[in-house]
Amino acid sequence: MQGLILLVEDEQDLAATLEYNLQREGYLTRVAHDGQAGLDAAMQEPLPDAIVLDLMLPDLSGTEVCRRLRESERTREIPIIMCTAKGSEIDRVVGFELGADDYVVKPYSVRELVLRIRALLRRARAAGAEAEPEVVRFGRLRVDREAHRAWVDDKEVSLTALEFRLLYAFLSRKGRVQTRDALLSDVWGIDAEVTTRTVDTHVKRLREKLGEAGDYIETLRGVGYRFRDTPDEAVA
């Protein structure tokens, strides 16, 4: 089985064409014609392996659907390809703001979309198959997740259990947006009585403790945080 693809597309003819072609390539498909139906279909078991999401939908916008998919623990890791009619939307769509994994600009060829889907699935599967090593190195930072210890330039950093969980949450999703709400549920637990301001306070403290390695954690104003994809990445 190649995978289950959810198509969220309100143009019924286009949706039918995509569905036909994906099935011919060996994919299973699920189709939704508006944003809310798309969200519902994304949460339904079995979860889709990838989502093709149109930006312009009649009820919720594709951007709003994407944001909600990223906020839900259930759907957060599902690769999303955004379909946009406007080249000017691309930065926003694939940038930090929304966290889509890839995009195609309309009108796109079905062939192109199929290739994008295939590449995304391959990447997602490779990431899932990688055994999590005990010690993770990232630039000047070294983290031992079993021992709950961290070093910067081989000098140990004294972290609280919570700061360690926070650092580990960042590291394990490096290069991707972490909203404050997502961090709250991952690090503090969903029922914790803390506000997003608490997240900021702890991130600030963690950064201070990490010294120059604290620069690996970038602030995305109004959105949350992002741990750099590579240690030497230039600050945008």
Residue 20 beta carbon to Ca ion: minimum distance, rounded to whole angstroms: 18
Span near Ca ion by CB under 5 A; candidates 54-62, 99-107, 150-158, 207-215: 54-62
User: What DSSP string describes the chain?
Assistant: ---EEEEE-S-HHHHHHHHHHHHHTT-EEEEESSHHHHHHHHHSSSPPSEEEEES--SSS-HHHHHHHHHHSTTTTTS-EEEEES-GGGHHHHHSTTT--SEEEESS--HHHHHHHHHHHHHHHHHHHHSPPPSEEEETTEEEETTTTEEEETTEEE---HHHHHHHHHHHHTTTSEEEHHHHIIIII-TT----HHHHHHHHHHHHHHHGGGGGGEEEETTTEEEE-SSTTPPP-
Least separation in angstroms between CB 234 and Ca ion: 35
Position among 15, 52, 54, 65 found at the interface with Ca ion (CB under 5 A): 54
Q: Residue 41 Cβ, how far from Ca ion at the closest point, in Å?
A: 16
- Binding span for Ca ion by CB under 5 A among 12-20, 46-54, 118-126, 208-216: 46-54
Residue ranges in 6-35 that form contacts with Ca ion under rule CB under 5 A: 10
Comparison of 21 and 61: residue with beta carbon closer to Ca ion? 61
CB of 86 to Ca ion, least distance (A): 12
**Cβ of residue 18: shortest distance to Ca ion, in angstroms?**
12
- Tell which one of 37, 43, 56, 90 touches Ca ion (CB under 5 A): 56
Scanning residues 183 to 212, which ones bind Ca ion (CB under 5 A)?
none
- Residue with the shortest CB distance to Ca ion: 56
Of the two residues 42 and 187, which places its CB atom closer to Ca ion in the complex?
A: 42
Please, what is the angle between helix 12-24 and helix 110-129, to 10°? 60
Q: Does 101 bind Ca ion (CB under 5 A)?
A: no
CB of 114 to Ca ion, least distance (A): 19
Of 125, 222, 229, 209, nearest in space to 160 by CA: 209
Q: Which span sits near Ca ion by CB under 5 A: 51-59, 66-74, 98-106, 124-132?
A: 51-59
Residues binding Ca ion: number (CB under 5 A) = 3
Handedness of CA 193, 197, 202, 205 (dihedral sign): negative
Q: Please identify, using beta-carbon distances, which residue of 4 and 56 lies nearer to Ca ion.
A: 56
Nearer to Ca ion, 5 or 15 (CB): 15
Q: What distance in Å separates the CA atoms of residue 44 and residue 37, rounded to the nearest whole number?
A: 11
| Residues of this chain that bind Ca ion (CB under 5 A) | 10, 54, 56
